[in-house]
Amino acid sequence: MGSVKDLEVLEAPSEAEPGRGRFRFSDRYSVFDWGEMPDHIEGKGAALCLIGAYFFERLEAMGIATHYLGVVGEDGALRRLAELDAPARVMEVKLVRVIEPRPVGAAFDYSPYRDAGGNFLIPLEVIYRNSLPQGCSVFKRLEEGGLRLEDLGLERPPIPGERLERPLLDVSTKLESTDRYLGWEEAREIAGLSGEELQALKEAVLMVDELISRAVAPLGLENQDGKVEFAFDEERRLMLVDVLGTPDECRFEYGGIPVSKEIARSYYRKTDWAREVEAAKRADMMGWKGLVKISPPPLPQDLKRLVALLYQSCCNGITGRAFFDAPPLEEIIAELRELL
C-alpha cells in the first residue's frame, strides 16, 4: 500500500523472471512525504490511471520499453485504453525486485546493487525541469548551499517562474525514508550503473519530457517539471516503471495557476502543520515524522471540489476521451483564480 496507490501482487518477481501485479489507484493524495492526507479527491485515482496508460501506450509506440501491460475494465479483463467504455482505476504491470538499501546509522548501504544483475527497480527518481516555478526545491537548495549555479548551467541566480533554455535533469533517492538529492556520480555509484547506462537513462528522460510537453501544450498547459522512474528487466535493459505524465508526477501550469497537487501544497505551506513538518525534517531527517505532533487539516470544500475537477478535466484533455463529466480547464481555472 502506498500513499496514493496500492499494489496487488499477482505473480512475484524473481532474479530471472519478471512478476505481474496491479496498481489500484486511489483518490488519496500526499504532500511533503507525509503519506495519506485527511481528504480524498473524487475521480483522482481513475484520472491518474488513464493518463498514465495514455503515456505508456504512446511510449511503446515509440519503441521505448515500459512495464505497462494494460488497464483493467469493469469486467476484469485486461484492455488497451481505446477499448474502455468507462473510467478505470486499475493498471496491470510487470513487476521487478525491490532491493531495499540497508540503513547504517544516518546513511544507507547500497552495496547489494553492485551485483544485482537484472530485474530490479533502480533506486533513483529522475526529475526533469523545464522551468523553475515558485516553490521549486532548487531555490531552497541554492540558498542552503546544497546546489551551485554551475550545477544548473547558470551564470546568475534564477528567479521564480524562470524558463530554462534547455531541460535541467536532477536526481534523488527513491527508497530512503525521505527523498535526498544526489550528484550524478553518487547516483551512478549507489545504483550500480555503468556510464553508458546512466547516459541512456538521461536520454530516455529527455524523450519522456518532450512527449509530455507536446501532449499537454494544446490544452494550454506548460510542463514545468516531472519525475521519471526506471528498472532493469531480466536482461538488464532499461524500462520505464511506476507511472508518469500525470498531475501527480508532473507540475503543470495554466496561465500562472498550478494544475497539479501543487495547489494543495500551496494551501498547506501556510499551515502550522507544514511549519512543524519542516522543523521536524531539519531536526531528524530519518525520524522526522514521529516529531510532528499535529495532524494536517482538511482542504476547504470549494478548493477540494476544484482540484478534483482539474484532475478529471486534465484526463479528458490529454487522452482525448470524455471519461468524466468535467468542464474545460479554462472554466475551472477561472473559478480557481477567484477562490485563490
Look up cell 503543470; give the residue: 252
Q: Which of 91, 7, 1, 93 is nearest to 46 (CA)?
A: 91
Distance in angstroms (rounded) separating the CA atoms of residues 238 and 221: 29
Look up cell 552495496; give the residue: 111
Distance in angstroms (rounded) separating the CA atoms of residues 171 and 82: 34
Low-confidence residues of the chain: pLDDT under 50? none
Say what the pLDDT of residue 134 is: 78
Domain ranges of the chain: 5-339
- Whether the CB-CB separation of 190 and 182 falls below 8 Å is answered with yes
Put the strands of the sheet holding 78-79 in their side by side order.
Answer: 5-11, 19-25, 90-95, 68-72, 78-79
| CA geometry: angle 69, 311, 294, nearest 5 deg | 105
Q: What is the CATH number of domain 5-339?
A: 3.30.470.20
- Give how far the C-alpha of residue 51 lies from the chain's centroid of Cα atoms, to the nearest Å: 12
Helices (H), the chain: 44-61, 137-144, 149-152, 184-191, 195-216, 262-269, 272-283, 301-319, 329-339
Cβ burial of 337 (10 Å; 0-12, 13-18, 19+) is exposed
Distance in angstroms (rounded) separating the CA atoms of residues 326 and 58: 24
Distance in angstroms (rounded) separating the CA atoms of residues 201 and 203: 5
Say what the pLDDT of residue 1 is: 57
Give, as one character, the DSSP assignment of residue 314: H
Counting every residue, how long is the chain?
Answer: 340
Distance in angstroms (rounded) separating the CA atoms of residues 292 and 276: 6
- Whether the CB-CB separation of 250 and 212 falls below 8 Å is answered with yes
**For 278-303, what is each residue's pLDDT tens digit?**
999 999 877 899 999 999 999 999 99
**For 13-68, what is each residue's pLDDT tens digit?**
998 999 999 999 999 988 888 988 999 999 999 999 999 999 999 999 999 999 99
